[in-house]
């Protein structure tokens, strides 16, 4: 069983103090008659799709380490010890994608992500993820933030120097706000609506009704009637089967159908509510009831999702890593950590061609940079920026060419006849 499955299972079974946001499980409150737990929320297709989309997208972005060279140009620091940890594998069990996906999933539900930092001296050598449901965060006597948890038979009591803590939205020093806590009403309504729809179909689209008899039934007659209904008429497979009325029995439905109860509209509204909490446009998880699947409007929504949703999420991770994993010498050398979001911002072939042409003509791109973005090999002389006017090196722009000295004419001189 993986870390996420263990966290969901253990967190769903615990009953903790709701006065502590980081400890809230939903066990003390049942909005719409439903117990809101991580496993129950993940059972909602909209919640699963939103978390899967956000966590999967961020996890597949390359997490790069940069430094400034002697010329002040930012370059990829592949020789830095953090590069292999963040870009390739943070520990012996996970790839970078696995680790960041677990981190972001924890942030989306619990509002916090924790990892134990293993160091060799000052140099970090490994990041070990910690399930958010087992963590207790407070301050020690000296005022330092303290992290305590028990895992695999070992108890840990560490300060913030040894724990990478990424806080979610509204994050205070001790932790971010839990989506499970503040969205429990929306999640409970969605779960209750799904349960009502499930039971409705299970009962053959007739949630309830009554059989009217002119006379009172004997106990044996009631037993026979119950057995007959359960075996022949209950369930969606038996919907529409004609009922044989005997002894003056008459069936009268006392409930309305799902369309009249606006069950479908309620389920659609629940999808919108879940998407609103996670900040995901509904069409990105397949909910296109009120919008088309094509058009420039959707392209703008995708761009807005990248700018206003993903950007703030990746910035939290970047700053937490820089604060906790970079040394003073790293900061003095201009070392930074950043997700490479160029892949998400790439347009189609025509848009990229126009972008590259503008950069090459105006001199702020060179051919080798374009080749690298398109996964093509460099070309001779492609590392020189050029300008459009004469396609000369940028350093030579505006200079007048030096005049060439006159060369003596070669060949025999002509003799004019009669001049002697």
Instruction: Note the pLDDT tens digit of each residue in 291-314.
Output: 554 445 666 777 778 888 888 899
Q: Distance (Å, rounded) from C-alpha 23 to C-alpha 2? A: 21
Residues in CB range of 399: below 8 A, 6 or more apart: none
Phi, psi of 211 (to 5 degrees): -100, 125
| Global confidence as pTM | 0.68
Integer Rg of the chain from CA: 34
Burial of 77 (0-12, 13-18, 19+ CB in 10 A): buried
* Residue position matching structure tokens 């996964």: 375
| Mean pLDDT calculated for residue range 195-199 | 67
Residue 416, CA atoms < 13 Å, CB-side half-sphere: 3
Residues in CB range of 352: below 8 A, 6 or more apart: 346, 374
The answer to whether the Cα torsion of 92, 93, 97, 98 is positive or negative is negative
Of the given ranges (13-22, 257-266, 290-299), which has the lowest mean pLDDT? 13-22
* 371 pLDDT above the threshold of 70: yes
Phi, psi of 296 (to 5 degrees): -70, -25
DSSP of 270-339: HHHHHHHHHT--GGGGT--TTS-SSSHHHHHHHHHHIIIIIHHHHHHHHHHHHHHH--HHHHHTT-EEEE
Of the given ranges (2-6, 50-54, 284-288, 310-314), which has the lowest mean pLDDT? 2-6
Instruction: Note the pLDDT tens digit of each residue in 97-128.
Output: 999 999 999 998 899 999 999 998 888 999 99
* 29 pLDDT above the threshold of 80: no
């Amino acid at each position: 069983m993986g870390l996420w499955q263990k966290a969901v299972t253990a967190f769903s079974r615990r009953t903790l103090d709701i006065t502590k946001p980081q400890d809230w499980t939903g066990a003390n409150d049942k909005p719409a008659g439903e117990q809101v737990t991580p496993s129950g929320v993940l059972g909602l297709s909209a919640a699963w799709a939103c978390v899967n989309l956000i966590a999967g997208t961020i996890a597949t972005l390359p997490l790069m380490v940069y430094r400034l060279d002697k010329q002040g140009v930012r370059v990829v620091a592949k020789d830095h010890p953090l590069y292999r940890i963040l870009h390739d594998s943070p520990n012996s069990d996970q790839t970078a994608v696995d680790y960041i996906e677990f981190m972001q999933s924890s942030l989306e539900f619990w509002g916090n992500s924790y990892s134990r930092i293993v160091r060799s001296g000052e140099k970090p050598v490994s990041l070990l993820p910690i399930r958010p449901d087992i963590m207790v965060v407070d301050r020690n006597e000296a005022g330092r933030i303290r992290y305590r948890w028990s895992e695999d038979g070992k108890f840990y009591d560490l300060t913030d120097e040894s724990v990478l803590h990424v806080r979610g939205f509204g994050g205070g020093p001790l932790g971010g706000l839990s989506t499970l806590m503040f969205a429990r009403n929306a999640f409970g309504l969605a779960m209750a609506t799904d349960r009502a729809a499930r039971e409705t179909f299970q009962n053959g689209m007739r949630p309830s009704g009554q059989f009217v008899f002119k006379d009172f039934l004997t106990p044996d007659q009631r037993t026979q009637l119950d057995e007959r209904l359960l075996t022949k008429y209950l369930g969606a497979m038996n919907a529409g089967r004609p009922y044989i009325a005997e002894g003056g029995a008459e069936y009268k439905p006392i409930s309305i159908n799902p369309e009249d109860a606006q069950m479908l509209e309620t389920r659609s509204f629940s999808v919108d509510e879940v998407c609103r909490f996670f900040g995901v446009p509904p069409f990105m998880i397949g909910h296109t009831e009120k919008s088309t699947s094509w058009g420039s409007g959707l392209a703008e929504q995708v761009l807005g999702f990248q700018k206003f949703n993903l950007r703030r999420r990746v910035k939290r991770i970047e700053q937490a890593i820089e604060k906790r994993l970079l040394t003073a010498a790293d900061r003095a050398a201009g070392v930074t950590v950043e997700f490479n979001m160029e892949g998400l911002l790439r347009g189609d072939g025509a848009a990229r061609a126009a972008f590259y042409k503008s950069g090459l003509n105006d001199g702020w791109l060179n051919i080798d940079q374009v080749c690298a973005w398109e996964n093509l090999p460099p070309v001779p002389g492609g590392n020189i920026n050029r300008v459009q006017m004469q396609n000369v090196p940028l350093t030579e722009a505006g200079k007048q060419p030096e005049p060439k000295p006159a060369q003596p004419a070669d060949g025999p001189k002509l003799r004019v006849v009669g001049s002697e």
